[in-house]
Structure 1
Amino acid sequence: MGVQEQYPFDVEAIRDDFPILQRSVGGDPETPGEGPGDDTPLVYLDNAATTHTPEPVVEAMSDYYRTYNSNVHRGIHQLSQEASVAYEKAHDTVAEFIGASGREEIVFTKNTTEAMNLVAYAWGLEELGPGDNVVLSEMEHHASLVTWQQIGKRTGAEVRFIEVTEDGRLDMADAATKIDDDTEMVSVVHVSNTLGTINPIRELADLAHDHDSLIFADAAQSVPNRPVDVADLDVDFLAFSGHKMAGPTGIGVLYGREAVLDAMSPYLYGGDMIRRVTFEDSTWEDLPWKFEAGTPSIAEGIGLAAAVEYVEEVGRDRIEAHERLLAEYAYEELEALGGVEIYGPPADERGGLVAFNVDGVHAHDLSSILNDYGVAIRAGDHCTQPLHEKMGVAASARASFYVYNTVEEVDALVDAVADARDLFA
């Protein structure tokens, strides 16, 4: 059976929902579509950074702007009421999507990074002090690592790191040592955006809770492409971004247990998050609005709900299977080239991405050459500088896959990498 015959759905039908995939590249970026040579088909393999947006999501946002554009929670007139209902229903849609108990546990943020900062500042500054510790992993995205690092400096809390093994997995024996009775927060990425490692969040949650610690899962690379249920994971906090799951930019989600969120003070202050204000004091609105100060990203929230519905219609199980298929194929084909070092777990034990380097070729040079072939990948440290230092490299190339990618696009990647390798030989 060919690899294409193993697709869990009709990929070409999916691709029809994403008009951007039909464009060509290769001309002047300032005048796309006008320059000479602007005729190379786009092969977009940078989905761990940002996925593309399907027509149903664009239409949902356009419908808001065209027919009921108004601010939420501020007007009695019909447009405001319609916008408020749609925005609140978006919270309900997301809550059901990840298994939260209700909209009270769903806070809309700009992105995963803001969700991390919200918890670190609203909870961390109040709860942490000298003698406490926060436990991360060595594969954390800077959104987690830098945030908790700086909170540790402010509070005097120690920041510890669970070691990563040579094959790109968490050392769970080390985790059992690092997480102790002085641990107040464990913050770990669910799927590594560099290694593709799928971390055992439930096992870490059990370990954290055994020591009366909270746990925060960075799910930016997991919620978009596999079933994630916060109750099954038993996490206290979880965050992800809309733009990594076929949704718009400028919208992210913080899930928090209602009891924990309720006990936290607001992170931002202003309109919509207050119940009553006097010259002397203020009281706060109910969850989740207590943490959504000012005019929120209304259209983006509505677009996120449409993206959730789109992902659900395709099926998260099937998306996970499709990404696994492509990642395994890419891993095996790149490895077969020779002169390619791939980072992280084996082909059949990773999320939908492959980070690698080619002997004698800097990742940035490789990305530039691949761009000439129309192949878009990520090159750099992927916001995991300490992890790259541990791996002994300054940067790596990363190909990441989503629902609309094909085996032929992986072949285009591999052929371009082979040409780049030969060019520098």
Structure 2
Amino acid sequence: MRGIKDCRADFPLAGDLVYMDSASVSLCPEQVIGAVAEYDRRYRANVGRGVHRLTRFASQRFEDARARVAGFIGGQAGVTVLTANTTASVNMVAGGMRWRSGDRVVTSSAEHHSNLLPWLRLRERGVEVEVVAPDPDGLLDPTVVAAAVDDRTRLVALTHASNALGSVQPVREIGRIAHEHGARLLVDGAQSVPHLPVDVERLGCDYLCFSGHKMLGPTGTGILWMREPDLDPLFLGGGMIETVTSDGYTPAAPPARYEAGTPHVAGMIGLGRAVGYLEEIGMDEVRRHEAHLTGRLFAGLSGLDHVTVFGPESPEKRIGVVSFVVDGMHPHDVAHILDEAAGIMVRSGEHCCMPLMRHLGLAHGTVRASLYLYNTAEEVDLLLAAVEEITRMV
């Protein structure tokens, strides 16, 4: 079994700099890089097309990876569809449900734009969209959501963990509220699946969307898990049909009907290996490691003069995303200094969460340090020392 302490050597970039931007794109271990390269070198072929040995082998590896990803989220009983990313997954749901004028969607102003804009656009089709606000820590009150959900609500769409503040939402409780009114629950798991033990049965969601590039996998990979294959396919073409005539077509059985065209074969195989890597370490261990580092970083930043930290203080209510501002300094300037002076990579700005930033009164957003299994306490202390040095410029 591989442990947290053993994993750092698997990430070449981790030895060259301090990488704290995993909420955007995680680093990729050698094992995943090797799995992708092996596909290209040894059995590169399309999947589900043809009978020669390479395509049969590639197809088996592709489906093995799909099964592993499904098992990782406890989703063996549902349908696991390969997409390009979380954004594509959310849009597949928005475009695949059969909306009627007067239907309602409930979401929040704490969402990433990818889980907000597809619902706002439905207003053009007569769908009512209610956007509820979180508290100052970015947490949603289930009673506020309950007040917004009624019997005309078709869908409640919420993030599990905020990419901007790290806040972990009570989606299970909110899901019960949605189901009491006959609504479905979509969970944006882009930030939770890489960092928390996630089980779709426990969450009670109907759709779970997440991205491979945030969980050690290749870019251009995402997952849409569906409890039931109840969506119309968003894309039509090769690979998603059973039969075609000049008069029409019959879609293939799920998940193929949702995967028109040649899929990202190497990406799915790489994502399957990334899931295997996380399983070897154990998601409970990943969670414990990140909680320790997050508590250390949150406490250290909170103790600095001229620094304001956002999000819940309790490690149980957040993932390893810590957002902060330095008085009188633009977040971009802070991030640039951290890079140039200390070799620390963080993100700055609004993090694709403009409504949330406006709700918090942050005109220029925040500096965001996002941690993962390859980060260390020494790196956290280096960041704290660098920020303390920056505050002396205020």
Which bracket does the TM-score occupy, shorter chain normalised?
over 0.9
Aligned to 1:34: none
By how many angstroms is 1:12 displaced? 4.3
The answer to whether the aligner puts 1:412 opposite 2:387 as a matched pair is no
Partners of 2:177 and 2:143 lie apart in 1 by 11
Secondary structure at the residue paired with 2:367?
strand
* Equivalent of 2:116 in 127, 145, 148: 145
By how many angstroms is 1:347 displaced? 3.8
Amino acid at match of 1:323: E
The answer to whether the aligner puts 1:300 opposite 2:267 as a matched pair is yes
The answer to whether the aligner puts 1:264 opposite 2:238 as a matched pair is no
By how many angstroms is 1:10 displaced? 5.2
Partners of 2:48 and 2:101 lie apart in 1 by 41
Q: Deviation per CA, 1:216-273, whole angstroms, max 9, x where unpaired?
A: 0000111111110001111100011001111110100000012xx1x32211011000
Q: Where do 1:82-161 residues align within 5 Å?
A: 82-102=57-77, 105-123=79-97, 126=98, 128-153=99-124, 155-161=125-131
The answer to whether the aligner puts 1:380 opposite 2:355 as a matched pair is no
The answer to whether the aligner puts 1:369 opposite 2:308 as a matched pair is no
* Equivalent of 2:29 in 54, 65, 72: 54
Aligned to 1:16: 9
Q: How many residues align?
A: 390
Q: Where do 1:11-410 residues align within 5 Å?
A: 11-23=4-16, 42-102=17-77, 105-123=79-97, 126=98, 128-153=99-124, 155-258=125-228, 261=229, 263-348=230-315, 349-372=317-340, 373-394=342-363, 395-410=365-380
Asked if the contact 1:99/1:229 (under 8 Å) is kept, the reply is yes
Partners of 1:281 and 1:404 lie apart in 2 by 51
Partners of 2:73 and 2:275 lie apart in 1 by 10
By how many angstroms is 1:312 displaced? 0.4
Asked if the contact 2:67/2:76 (under 8 Å) is kept, the reply is no
Q: Deviation per CA, 1:34-76, whole angstroms, max 9, x where unpaired?
A: xxxxxxxx11000111110111111111111111100111111
Secondary structure at the residue paired with 1:246?
coil
Partners of 2:3 and 2:284 lie apart in 1 by 14
| TM-score, normalising length: structure 1 | 0.90
Amino acid at match of 2:30: E
CA RMSD of aligned residues (A): 1.2
Percent identity between the aligned chains? 43
Partners of 1:270 and 1:187 lie apart in 2 by 29
Asked if the contact 1:189/1:217 (under 8 Å) is kept, the reply is yes
Amino acid at match of 1:284: P
Secondary structure at the residue paired with 2:162?
coil
By how many angstroms is 1:91 displaced? 1.1
Secondary structure at the residue paired with 2:156?
strand
Q: Deviation per CA, 1:130-168, whole angstroms, max 9, x where unpaired?
A: 322100012001001011111222x21111122211233
